[in-house]
Amino acid sequence: MTQHTNISLPGFRFTHAEPANFAVIAALFQELHQFNSSLDACFALAENWRDLLHEHFKRTYNSPNTLWLLAWHKEQPAGLLMVEVHKDSPLFQHRNWAELTALYVEPAYRGSDMAACLVTFARDWAAMHGFNRLELYVTASNERAKKFYWRCGLRPVQEIWRLEVDPDAEPVFDIAANQAGDAWKSLLEPGQHYMCAPDET
């Protein structure tokens, strides 16, 4: 378990996730999405989410393009951070940035500045990898998360609007068929449900 030493918070330690940590990651990831789906039912995880996340983790936990970070209080898992390289369409000039895909703090440790430390880790990771910005998605109704990220220096630059539609047919796009191709490489990138700290106060 490799410990981060650049940023410290009394009583806590931060480590790079390793294969032996996957059960902890999955538990925190599930808690995060239980919260997200309470805000919007469209954020509910698929039945096979754990297997998919495990495959993604095995492929990327030691990749230079991905950060999987765990926060610990003594020996208890306290938080999760995931950051990945985002590559947009080559149609765009400014198409690469660091994407904060998950940030979660266990309820017992909110108010401890841990979430702010995790954002700092994400910012520093982005800078060390040559990116000029860090981006994330926040559910529109998650006011506490929006206030928290504002305090951390992030600012809104885009909105996603939704119109509910009654479908007349099955979707044309075959998601399963694309998991073996480029879509698999972007399991937690755009088009997925981005994850954010529910509270820091």
The answer to whether 156 and 137 have CB atoms below 8 angstroms apart is: no
Please give the Cα distance from 122 to 115 (Å, whole number): 11
pLDDT at 1: 47
Query: Left if phi > 0, otherwise alpha if psi is -120 to 50, otherwise beta: which for 196?
Result: beta
d(Cα 194, Cα 86) in Å, to the nearest integer?
13
- Please, which pLDDT band fits residue 5 given cuts at 50, 70 and 90? very low
**CATH number of the domain at 3-185, please?**
3.40.630.30
Buried b (16+ CB within 10 A) or exposed e, 1-22: eeebeeeebeebbbeebeeebb
Residue 6 has pLDDT above 90, yes or no: no
SS3 170: coil
pLDDT at 94: 86
Q: Are 83 and 126 in contact (CB under 8 A)?
A: yes
Q: For 30-38, what is the mean pLDDT?
A: 96
Q: Does residue 185 carry a pLDDT above 60?
A: no
Domain ranges for the chain, please list them.
3-185
pLDDT tens digits, one per residue of 108-124: 999 889 999 999 999 99
Q: What is the mean pLDDT of residues 117-139?
A: 96
- Give tens-digit pLDDT for 145-169: 999 999 999 999 999 999 999 988 8
> Mean per-residue pLDDT for 84-110?
92
Mean pLDDT confidence for 83-101: 91
